[in-house]
Amino acid sequence: MNVLVAGIGNIFLGDDGFGVEVVKRMDGMSVPAGVKVADFGIRGVHLSFELLDGYDALVLVDAMPMGEEPGTVAIFEPDVESVEANGMDAHSMNPAVVLGLLTSMGGHVPHVVVVGCEPLTVEEGIGLSEPVTAAIAPAVETVRRVLADIYSNLQEELPS
C-alpha cells in the first residue's frame, strides 16, 4: 500500500502555509510503512505528477475557509469521481485543481482525504496566526488517525 500525505499552501500568505507547517512537524515521526509525507507548497503540477506514480490514498493538508472559528481542524473526503480538469492554473493549489490535473493525465487516486484548518488570515506575510499555530499539533494527530483509518480500510479491501 502506498499513501501520500501532502502538505500544501503558500507560506508567503500567512495561514495558507498551514499544510506545509503540519508536514514539517511530522518530519521524523514514525508513520506506517508505505506512507510518504512531503511538502508540496504551491507546486500543484508536481503533486499531480507524483500521484501518477500510483498511490492507494492521498491525504492533503491545507488551510481551507469553512466558515468556522480560526484554527478549527476538520476532515472531509472530496468526491474524486466528479472532479474534472477544466480552467486550471498551473500555479494554483487546491484539491480540485490537483485532482483535475491528475485525471487529465490519466491518473487516479482511489481514496482522498483532506485535513483542513480554518485560517484567520491569508494576507501577504510569513508566519501563521496564533489560532492556526495552535492547530498544528491537533492536525498532526488528525493526520495520524486518518492514516490509521486508511490502513484499516485498505486492509479490509485486500483479497485474502
Q: What is the pLDDT of residues 17-65, one digit of tens each?
A: 999 999 999 998 999 889 999 999 888 788 989 999 999 999 999 999 9
Pick the more confident residue, 42 or 81. Answer: 42
Structural domain including 9 reads 3-157
Contact 114, 77 (CB under 8 A): yes
Other CB atoms within 10 A of residue 117 CB: 30
Number of independent structural domains in the chain: 1
Contact 125, 17 (CB under 8 A): no
- What are the beta bridge partners of residue 115? 61, 75
The CATH number of the domain holding residue 32 is 3.40.50.1450
Question: Backbone phi, then psi, for 10, in 5-degree steps?
Answer: -105, 110
Is the pLDDT confidence value at 93 over 90?
A: no
**How far is 114 from 79, CA to CA, in rounded Å?**
11
